[in-house]
Amino acid sequence: MCDVCYRQTRCAEGRLIAGFNEGLSGGFVALHVDERGKTLDMCREVSDSGVCWIGDTSCAIGERRLGGVFVRAGS
Ligand SMILES: [Zn+2]
């Protein structure tokens, strides 16, 4: 997933989202972001389901085992 696509990631509501690690102990959380990448409120739906959208493609978003966040097409 390239940076350009990553910034197009949206939840089912059509809002831009980004994934984050919740803390050093791990845990994944998805936050709504604005067009500049500023984080807004939490997207509970994506945080729970790990399903996001890039265009019309459903994608999986989640926590990498070694830290960080992945997005991949096809859930
Ligand atoms: Zn949302």
Residues spanned by the domain of 60: 3-73
26 alpha carbon to ligand 1 midpoint, in Å? Answer: 21
Question: Which pLDDT belongs to residue 22?
Answer: 84
pLDDT tens digits, 14-71: 999 999 998 777 789 999 999 998 999 999 999 999 999 999 999 999 998 888 899 9
Sheet of strand 28-33, all strands in order from the earlier edge strand to the far edge: 17-21, 28-33, 39-42
Residue 69, burial from CB neighbour count under 10 angstroms (0-12, 13-18, 19+): middle
Instruction: Count how many Cα atoms sit within 13 Å of the Cα of residue 13 in the half-sphere of its side chain.
Output: 11
4 alpha carbon to ligand 1 midpoint, in Å? Answer: 19
pLDDT tens digits, 3-17: 767 789 999 999 999
The pTM score is: 0.84
74 alpha carbon to ligand 1 midpoint, in Å? Answer: 19
Of 63, 51, 55, nearest to 11 by C-alpha is 51
Task: Give the count of domains, the chain.
Answer: 1
Token representation of residue 36 = 């500049």
